[in-house]
A = this chain, B = another copy of it.
């Protein structure tokens, strides 16, 4: 399990990645992550970043390089990646690419409990979801399009393309699920509706 790592937050991976190119101070990391769009892939919030930097320093993966001050701004502590950090970075990234992990997406949880809703309502919620999925896909396509137009190599957009693939698959799945529920012949509506005392949703099913 990934919990064996001294620092488990994925933000730490991004930090090490950036520091492997040049030393930076935390705020610069934060800004760069946001600008570079990595914050879409790795949850970033201001407080966590300082926490993670502290953890990395304590673990010996990064080291305080210098503490400069420009004008009267607060001190900026610049950090650099150590050799141990470089090793940890490679090892971790390697594992993340090679080994799928069991995760808990929200929609999986929702599906596991969806039988608690009356089937007709479930169907209308799923239809609503289809609309949202389409919007999200359009947004990502446009994001990719403008990035490509600005000359960003596709290599740096693979994570967005991956998201697109997942969204497409989810869309198909939801459409099929709606079918399965509402099919007048073999649909689950009848059996399902009985849990909830709904009258007859599909063709005609009661008692």
CA of A159 to CA of B106, assembled, Å = 11
- Interface residue A203 (Cβ < 8 Å from any Cβ of B): no
Contact count band on A:
35 or more
CB distance from A160 to the nearest CB of B (A): 9
- Interface residue A205 (Cβ < 8 Å from any Cβ of B): no
Q: Are A117 and B99 in contact (CB under 8 A)?
A: no
Residue of B17, B41, B188 near A155 (CB, 8 A) is B188
CA of A159 to CA of B102, assembled, Å = 14
Q: Which residues of A contact B (CB under 8 A)?
A: 2, 10, 13-14, 17, 20, 38, 40-43, 89-90, 93-94, 96-117, 121-122, 125-126, 128-129, 132-133, 136, 153-156, 158-159, 161-163, 165-170, 172-173, 177, 180, 188, 191-192
Copies of chain A in the complex:
2
- Chain B residue numbers with a CB within 8 Å of A117 are 90, 93-94, 97
Q: Are A109 and B42 in contact (CB under 8 A)?
A: yes
CA of A111 to CA of B102, assembled, Å = 17
- Chain B residue numbers with a CB within 8 Å of A17 are 113, 116
CA of A17 to CA of B122, assembled, Å = 16
Q: Are A97 and B109 in contact (CB under 8 A)?
A: no
- Chain B residue numbers with a CB within 8 Å of A125 are 94, 97-98
Q: Are B111 and A101 in contact (CB under 8 A)?
A: no
